[in-house]
Amino acid sequence: MDITLVVPAAGRGSRLLGATNQFPKCMIGVRGIPLLQYVLDVGLELPIQRIVIVISPEGDAVRRHFGESYRGVPVHYAIQPEPLGLAHAVSMSEPFVSDWLLVVNGDEIFSNCRHGRMMAFVERNQADGLVGYIHTPEPRRIQIGYGMTMAEEGRVKTLIEKPKAVWNDVLGVGTWLHRADFFDYFRRTPLHPVRRERDFVQVVQLMADDGQRIYGFDLEGDFFNINTPEDLQTAEAALGRGAAAFSMAG
């Protein structure tokens, strides 16, 4: 099974770095390590054949740091010429994907999650795709992310981005595993009437509505979407507690 790790990393992090800063958000240091490195390490919990990092035209710092391979896996770069959203960024990776793509957002840190078990779940359930989620007692996190409804067997029924009303404790996160026909569905997804871009969750919704076997996958653990200085502080504190616990256990 051929899996390409696709990491959308074209964000400039205006809320974190200031509106005029062009430094790639994914290269911000988190406990002395670039944010993007945490993302790549999580993705490589699966058997990845190649990595595609989607960068902006100002993303040379990413190329210089990670070069042509990471942990022995070839790295390719795709440029998103203008910020047209997550789905468009992922679509830039199409020339490098032949079978499956694992998408992990370039500005999220996952802690004690189960990415490495995703392919076993796919094979056991004959799934066409997975949508990662965690449970949270904080409705606000769902309201600024996306919510999910699943059938009893775990198949995705509805995905709603930034829901005004929260109906369960399921928080959709920035991890998705799909077949390469994702790109066909991307082209079939209507443009948002205001933003004039295609929403990623709507692409996945179209796949589910079309009868594809799209399942939610409970990643457990926790994750941190790094958008503000407060988010960064929270993630660093959590990672510090994890490192201390590991040291004590060892």
Q: Where are the domains of the chain?
A: 3-131+172-249
pLDDT at 244: 37
Phi and psi dihedrals of 141, rounded to 5?
A: -65, -35
Domain 3-131+172-249 has CATH 3.90.550.10: yes
| Residues 186/84, Cβ–Cβ less than 8 Å | no
pLDDT at 20: 44
Neighbouring C-beta atoms of residue 142, cutoff 10 Å: 23
pLDDT at 239: 85
- Reading the block at residue 131, the tokens are 């949508």
- Average pLDDT on 31-59 reads 96
Q: Mind listing the pLDDT tens digit for each residue in 184-229? A: 999 999 998 888 899 999 999 999 999 999 999 999 998 899 988 8
| Residues 223/113, Cβ–Cβ less than 8 Å | yes
| Residues 3/116, Cβ–Cβ less than 8 Å | no
pLDDT surpassing 80 at residue 22: no
Strands 3-8 and 69-70: unpaired
- Reading the block at residue 48, the tokens are 């990845």
Min mean pLDDT across 47-56, 142-151, 191-200, 212-221 is at: 191-200
| pTM for the whole structure | 0.92
Q: How far is CA 161 from CA 37, 70, 77, 115, 224, in A?
A: 27, 32, 28, 22, 17
How far is residue 45's CA from residue 183's CA, in Å, rounded to a whole number?
Answer: 24
- Reading the block at residue 240, the tokens are 């510090």
- Tell which wins on pLDDT, 34 or 17: 34
- Reading the block at residue 105, the tokens are 């957002």
pLDDT at 18: 58
pLDDT surpassing 60 at residue 170: yes
In the structure, what pLDDT confidence band is assigned to residue 19 with cuts at 50, 70 and 90?
very low
Mean of all residue pLDDT scores within the chain: 91
- Non-local (6+) Cβ contacts of 6 within 8 A are 52, 54, 90, 93, 97, 101, 102, 103, 104
Greatest alpha-carbon span in the chain:
54
Min mean pLDDT across 14-23, 34-43, 98-107 is at: 14-23
Q: Mind listing the pLDDT tens digit for each residue in 74-123? A: 999 999 999 999 999 999 999 999 999 999 999 999 989 999 999 999 99
- Non-local (6+) Cβ contacts of 7 within 8 A are 26, 36, 39, 40, 43, 51, 52, 53, 54, 103, 104, 105, 106
Q: Is the dihedral of CA 164, 170, 175, 181 positive or negative?
A: negative
